[in-house]
Amino acid sequence: MFETKAFGNHRNNLTRDQEPTLHGPYLNEVGAKVCEERLARELLAIGLPVLLLFGIVLVLYSRAARNLQRLNSISRSPVVSVFSEVINGTGLSTIRSYQQEDRWKKRFEEKVDDWTVRTLLYWEGKAWGTAYNSLVSMIYVAGVVILGWFFMSPPQLSVALTSSLNFNTLGIYIVMQFVELDSKMTSFERVQFYSTSLPQETSVSSVSPPKEWPSVGNVRFENVTFRYRPGLPFVLRNVSFTVNGGETIGVCGRTGAGKSSLLFALFRLIELDPSLSPLSIDANTGMPIPVDPNEEPNSGRVVIDDVDISKVQIQRVRRSIAIIPQDPTLFTGTVRSNLDIAGRCTDDRIWEVLDLVEMRSVVAEMPTGLDSEVAEGGSNFSAGQRQLLCFARAILNDCRIVVLDEATASVDVETDAKIQRTIREQFRDKTVIVIAHRLNTILDSDRILVMDKGTVAEFDTPDNLKANPESAFNGLLHSLTH
């Protein structure tokens, strides 16, 4: 769901769309003096039908208002999405660089127009409700006047008219407030959806590995086949290979070959056991997507140190593997909390690791050192510095298995050299899986895994692959030089 639904939708649903849940309309003091003196029983002849008419307007208007409010909320999300794309990250500078201001301005105006149309429909609906409520009120007042003219004395008629006006005001107010409250309850639908209907990961712990697991770092893929969600093609097909503890494995292949997809199975972001797979949710309707019984399910398993990771608690699996992603991620907080998330390391150890990744001087120059604040997204550090801090975090985590997902894709050559030196020095005794976009960064690996169209094309030492002129790895090397 979070991959198929724009971020602006979630932002709108959890911010502006929830305003009615905090400041929504509530029925204030409901009560009015309906009649100050005893009135003729003849008023019931017109009062009861009018109450019925108020009820009919309430039912018709509330149903329409609820749907119009829902359309209004849904149409606001694209506006927030486009605005977020422009102001976040390098969106604005990229648009200006390619002189696409007019195109994005037109796109934004189209989204605003759609939202405005639905907003006007919502307010037109309120005008419709007000008009028909006023019509019912007029019928009641006219009925009181006609009945009073023939069956009431002048004093009784004056009291009846006064009371009928109070009754009309109260009737219109109750109908409008009830409909307003009912339409704003669509915001609570989103609260309920996000709190109860989102698919959740299933954490099964039928196997409890020892505390030091994984102690060796062996990783084995056995006939791994999966797709990201129902209806999509398989991204991996019958992938099988074994990584021995302490090996450094380079993974390469062309775009879309399935390199990064290996991590989805390793971190259990995609469950290979169909019984553990959560339901898929349609991003537009919020309804579960039915499973096609004729569709081939995910299959295979991943084994770490002879333990099937699908049998281990999912949090334990993920804590046992360190990852350094392509896009370095820092969280709002202090430098210390970003490096030592679990709070297990001493300051001396943190400074030692910062020295290893050549970030000690940068952090030391900050106002309060390790307690200095990290801006949102780590914007007070350069891309290379954020990547080096992620390496420091992986070293402090001290996992037997370390994964680098194209970790040097967005850094300069100098930073890349620092990172490669850090890998060789700090992860010598670890099992390291390097997903590479630069083939020269994996030429000193123990073995190289070449992926092609979701399958394992080759898995051998760099020397053997380079010695075979027909190998896929040689083809990749040849494509870089021509």
Residue 203 placed within a domain: no
Q: Same structural domain for residues 274 and 159? A: no
The tens digit of pLDDT for each residue in 4-50 reads 555 555 555 555 555 554 444 333 333 333 443 345 455 666 777 87
Task: Please give the structure tokens belonging to residue 260.
Answer: 């990064």
Residue 192 sits in the same domain as residue 282: no
Of the pLDDT bands very low, low, confident and very high (cuts 50, 70, 90), residue 294 is: confident
More confident residue, 184 or 306: 306
443 domain residue, yes or no? yes
Which residue, 387, 417, 418, is CA-closest to 404?
387
Asked whether residue 210 is domain-assigned, the answer is no
Task: pLDDT band for 285, please (50, 70, 90 cuts).
Answer: low
Q: Mean of the pLDDT values across residues 161-180? A: 75
In a domain, 227, yes or no: yes
Report the length, in residues, of the chain.
482
Are 231 and 190 members of one domain? no
Q: Are residues 248 and 372 in the same domain?
A: yes
Q: Do both 164 and 309 map to the same domain?
A: no
Same domain, 165 and 49: yes
Range of the domain at 73: 7-196
Shared domain for 162 and 231, answered yes or no, is no
**Burial of 460: CB neighbours in 10 Å, binned 0-12, 13-18, 19+:** middle
256 and 154, same structural domain? Answer: no
| Confidence (pTM) | 0.67
Kindly report, residue by residue over 208-254, the tens digit of the pLDDT. Answer: 888 888 888 899 999 999 988 777 889 999 999 999 988 889 998 88
Count of domains for the chain: 2
Q: Which of 196, 229, 251 is the last residue of a domain?
A: 196
SS3 category, 343: coil
Contact 159, 35 (CB under 8 A): yes
Report the range of poorest mean pLDDT among 25-29, 420-424, 443-447: 25-29
Are 13 and 293 in contact by the 8 Å Cβ rule? The answer is: no
Query: Do 469 and 425 have their domain in common?
Result: yes
Residue 232's CATH number: 3.40.50.300
Query: Do residue 285 and residue 356 come from a single domain?
Result: yes
